[in-house]
Amino acid sequence: MVNIALSPLFHKNNHIIAISFKFDFAIKEYIKSVEGVKWSKTHKTFYIVHTVSNKQKLYQALRFKDWYVDYSALSSAKANIPKAQTKTLSIKLPYLEDSQQNNLEKFKKWMQQKRLSINTVNSYFEVTSFFLRYAQLKQQPITVRLVEQFNYDFIVRPNKSISYQNQCINGIKKYLDYIGTPLLSFDIERPKKPKKLPEVLSSDDVKNILDNIINLKHKTLLTLIYSAGLRIGEALKIRISDIDSKRMVIHIKSAKGNKDRYTLLSLKFLELLRLYYKTYKPKDYLFEGQNGGLYSTSSAQNILKKAAKKSNIKKPITLHTLRHSFATHLLENGTDIRYIQTLLGHSSPKTTMIYTHVSETSIRNIKNPFDNL
C-alpha cells in the first residue's frame, strides 16, 4: 500500500503541510494535480498552505486513491497551526494500543466486506480512530455520555460542519454495530442540515463554459457530466463498455448507495465522444490519468474553474453544479419529475423535488400580484 506522510512546516512566512512519500512517478503526478499543492526547492517536498479547507481538500484527494495517510504529526502540532485560520484543540490524543489498532484495522476490513464505498470506509475509519483515542484518553467505556463529550470537544467547539458531525455519528454507530453493542441505547440525534437551494447555470452559461475549453479530453469530460447528469465520481469510473450507442444510454454501475442505473446518451455528445476516442484511444476507463488508472477529481474541478472564469461567471460553482443544471433544464423542458429522479439515481422523490424550487419556468409562470394593482 502507498504510504503518504503529512507533517507541519514553516515556509516563506507560512504554515504549510509537507507531503512526503516514497518516490513514484504516478504518485508524484497525482499529488501535483491537487489544487493548491506546490513544490518547495528549499525543503525538497510537495506542500500545501496549512488551512482547514486545504487540509480537508488534501484528505479528500488522498482518500480517493485509498492510500494510507499518516497525519499523526499534524494532530500533535498545535503550535504550527495559525490561530487566524482554524480553531485548534488543546487536547492531545494518545496513540492507540496495539490491540485497539488491530481491532480498528479489522473494522476497516469488515466495512470493505460490507461493500461500503472507499470514501465511506476511509471516513468512518478516520472518525472511529479519533473516537477510540479519545475514549483511551478519558479512560471511559463507550457510553452515550462519552459520545456526546467527543461530539462537543472535536466537532462543536472547533465549529466543524454539520455534514462532518453527521459523518462522525454515522461512523461511531457503524463501529458499535461491528462490535455488537446494541444501537438502541445510542440514539444520538443528528443535527439537521440547513436547506440550501443548489446553484444552477443557464443553458447559455453551460454552453459558454464548454466552448471555452480547448482541450478535447477536458471538454469531453465536462460535457459528459452535464449531458448525463453525473456525479464526478460516476463520470470518472465509466468504462468504454458502459456506453451503449445502440440504445443511446449510459450504464452507471455501483453508484451512490451501490446502485446501478441508466442515464441519457446525448447524440451530440456521442459525436464528441467518438472524436475523443479516436484521438486518445483509452483502454479501460473512458478517462484515464497520464499513467493509467482513474483521472483526478481535482484536475476536473480546476478545468471547470478556469472555464468559468473565461466565461465571466461570478457565482461559485462546482462540478456538481453541472448535474444540478442538467436536472433543472430537464424540468424546464417539461420532463416528468419521476423520470428525472430515475436519471439522477435518487432513492427518494423528495431529493429530486428541490429542482422545482430553482426552475425558472415554474417561477416565470406565476403571476405577480403587484402587476394586477
Instruction: Write down the catalytic residue from 231, 237, 324, 329.
Output: 231
Instruction: Write down the catalytic residue from 11, 160, 256, 261.
Output: 256
Q: Distance between CA atoms of 85 and 52, rounded to whole angstroms?
A: 7
- The bridge status of strand 68-70 relative to strand 3-11 is parallel
Instruction: Write down the catalytic residue from 55, 63, 323, 324.
Output: 323
277 is known as an active-site residue: no
Helix, coil or strand: residue 88: coil
Q: How many CA atoms lie within 13 A of 23 on its CB side?
A: 2
Instruction: Write down the catalytic residue from 50, 133, 237, 346.
Output: 346
What is 178-215 written as a DSSP string? HHT--GGGG-PPPPPPP--PPP---HHHHHHHHHT--S
323 is known as an active-site residue: yes
71 is known as an active-site residue: no
8 A C-beta contact, residue 325 and residue 200: yes
Instruction: Write down the catalytic residue from 43, 108, 138, 320.
Output: 320
How far separated are the first and last CA of the chain, in Å rounded? 71
Q: Which long-range contacts (CB under 8 A, 24 or more apart) does 183-190 make?
A: 185/144, 186/144, 186/147, 188/144, 188/147, 188/148, 188/151, 190/165, 190/166
357 is known as an active-site residue: no
320 is known as an active-site residue: yes
Closest CA to 144 of 131, 160, 133: 131
178 is known as an active-site residue: no
Closest CA to 289 of 231, 233, 223, 217: 217
- The H-assigned helical ranges of the chain are 25-33, 52-64, 72-75, 98-113, 118-138, 144-151, 162-179, 203-211, 216-228, 232-236, 267-280, 297-310, 319-332, 337-344, 349-352, 360-364
Question: Which residues are known to be catalytic?
Answer: 231, 256, 320, 323, 346, 355
